[in-house]
Structure 1
């Protein structure tokens, strides 16, 4: 037996059957402005 997985099925896979979706960030990183506001609020 080989260590490598069998990729024969992936070679036959039809990408055209996949749906196109728009990726959405669930937990986006705060902007630079938000970081500055939080720093200023913490100094008060």
Structure 2
């Protein structure tokens, strides 16, 4: 699982969960990074 703790909101944000396959994990980690960037961009607005 990939999570981010939003200190201002006081909660964890689930970015991504993944399966136990190394190829898929790499793709999911990349997707989690994209989702985190999107989440943080919306918080800055």
TM-score by shorter chain over 0.5: no
TM bin (shorter chain): 0.3 to 0.5
Question: Whose strand proportion is higher, 1 or 2?
Answer: 2
Question: Whose helix proportion is higher, 1 or 2?
Answer: 2
Highest RCO, 1 vs 2 (Cα 8 Å, sep ≥ 6)? 2
Q: Which protein shows a greater Rg?
A: 1
